[in-house]
């Protein structure tokens, strides 16, 4: 397993060692000691899975304290553009956007620490799975609008399929005002 740093502190890309032969492939999709060795020492308490049609955008979502969640995200089938935004109060990379293609060929993962908004666009029909370090709590959910012009995220989709809820989220500027500088 390779754990790679990113330009945003605490955010990691993870690539498993894949063993292929004429039968198919095998890889270790989760190995706690390898993650801990690389500074990712979380107790995962919940795992979520979704199926989304190509053209869907989900996000950008987060959970506020005391239910903030770190996530370990991966694609079981298909291909997505995974997107995170640093919303950590006082972070030198506050408002920074990071994107990574996750797919069922590389079987790569993204470790997203607490304090980030997270979302993804579905480039091919996809089954998306992510482990969470805390339980979901409806009263603690929040988000930032997916198409915020200041974030200028290229989701790779011209006419996205969106939920009503995701279309009502605030801009980063409004979110920053409301929270006095982040979560």
Query: Active-site residues: which are they?
Result: 61, 130
**Could you tell me if 78 and 127 are in contact, meaning their C-beta atoms sit under 8 angstroms apart?**
yes
Between CA 100 and CA 105, with CA 102 as vertex, the angle to 5 degrees is 135
Residue 160: CB partners within 8 Å, gap ≥ 6?
Answer: 55, 56, 57, 121, 146
Rounding to the nearest 10 degrees, give the CA dihedral for residues 8, 167, 183, 111.
-40
Instruction: Report the sign of the C-alpha dihedral through residues 36, 42, 44, 47, in that order.
Output: negative
Quote the distance between the C-alpha of residue 88 and its chain's center: 15
Give the DSSP H/E element, type plus range, for residue 173.
helix 172-179
Residue 70: CB partners within 8 Å, gap ≥ 6?
Answer: 42, 111, 112, 113, 114, 132, 133, 134
Distance CA 75, CA 70 (A): 17
């Amino acid at each position: 397993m390779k754990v790679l740093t990113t330009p945003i502190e605490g955010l990691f890309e993870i690539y498993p060692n894949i063993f292929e032969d004429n039968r198919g492939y095998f890889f270790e999709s989760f190995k706690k000691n390898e993650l801990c060795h690389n500074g990712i020492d979380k107790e995962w308490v919940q795992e979520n899975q979704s199926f989304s049609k190509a053209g869907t955008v989900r996000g950008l979502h987060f959970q506020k304290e005391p239910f903030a969640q770190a996530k370990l995200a991966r694609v079981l089938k298909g291909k997505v553009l995974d997107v995170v935004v640093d919303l950590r109060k006082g972070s030198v990379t506050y408002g920074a956007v990071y994107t990574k293609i996750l797919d069922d060929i590389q079987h790569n993962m993204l470790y997203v620490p607490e304090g980030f908004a997270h979302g993804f666009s579905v480039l091919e029909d996809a089954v998306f799975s992510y482990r969470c370090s805390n339980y979901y709590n409806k009263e603690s959910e929040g988000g930032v609008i997916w198409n915020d012009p200041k974030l200028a995220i290229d989701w790779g989709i011209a006419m996205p399929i969106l939920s009503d809820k995701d279309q009502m989220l605030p801009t980063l500027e409004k979110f920053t005002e409301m929270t006095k500088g982040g979560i």
